Amino acid sequence: MSHFVALNPKQHQSLRVQPSKVAETGAAEQLIPVVLSEFNQLIIQYPIVFTKNAKSGQFVCSAMLGFEEGENLFWNEQQWNGLYIPAQVERHPFYIGQSDEKTEEDQHLVCLDTDSEALSETEGEPLFDENGQPTTLMADKQEILAMLLDGEPQTRSFIKALTSLDLLAPIALEISLADGSTRKVNGLYTIDEDKLSGLCGETVAMLHEKGFLAPAYTLLASHAHIYSLIERKNARIIKDD
């Protein structure tokens, strides 16, 4: 259950955030939505793929954390075992909300999930100092929220450009594991590298000008991490045995 309210320095002066509980919000996530501006951090460890939203049919760009629903192979012994935590996890327990006031420009508010287990009155890092000013933690959270706010429309434009050029293709992913079993992972898409390489110079220049060419190749390169994801899966199987 979640309960969202606008962040207020006076009302929430005493609240603290427990970083370990923040990471735990992604403990059972197989796929985490990501934005272009974090590709350079994700490429260190995560395969980046596309999935289709079941309701809208629209493509979503995601970091792949496991091979089965509810499986996060980066969550181990109650902690996130990775160098970078995706922004959609790291932003918790904060969200961007919309002001009810009617103005010429959209007014965005930093909102807080007051029911989040990451919040505490006694443990963790404070949101505000004694003068009601944001702490370093709060400033970092605001920076992450701003990155997501700016990055989401940019990422939608990236996906729109790829789909308009018919560059997205399904991934046939079947893996063999240490216990002799196999897993088929369905519903994943990637960029057709042959089609991308075969684009005319004018189209390539357009993608480069929009800032989409480099992320496209970063995404393709990230698929090498599927092998390290298999290693994580095998290590978990062996440990459970």
Residue 100's pLDDT is 59
pLDDT at 132: 86
This prediction has a pTM of 0.91
Calculate the CA 117 to chain-centre distance.
Answer: 20
Q: What's the pLDDT score for residue 151? A: 95
Helix, strand, or coil (residue 56): coil
At 207 the pLDDT is 97
The residues spanned by each domain of the chain are 4-240
* pLDDT of 104 above 50: no
- Nearest to 27, CA basis, from 68, 75, 87: 75
* Distance from C-alpha of 162 to C-alpha of 147, rounded to nearest angstrom: 22
Q: Which two tokens stand for residue 99?
A: 């002001």
Alpha-carbon span 43 to 214, nearest angstrom: 12
Rounded Cα–Cα distance for residues 144 and 168 (Å):
28
pLDDT at 106 over 80: no
Q: Which tens digits make up the pLDDT trace of 143-193? A: 999 999 999 999 999 999 999 999 999 998 999 998 888 989 999 999 999
Give the single-character DSSP code of 36: G
Contact between 89 and 72 (Cβ < 8 Å): no
Rounded to whole angstroms, the Cα distance separating 101 from 169 reads: 43
- How confident is the model over 15-40, as pLDDT tens digits? 999 988 999 999 999 999 999 999 99
User: For residue range 42-95, what is the model confidence (pLDDT) as tens digits?
Assistant: 999 999 999 998 888 899 999 999 999 999 999 998 999 999 999 999 999 999
pLDDT at 11 > cutoff 80: yes
Per-residue pLDDT band at 126 (split at 50, 70, 90) = very high
**How far is residue 91 from each of residues 36, 106, 135, 140, measured CA to CA in Å?**
16, 21, 15, 9
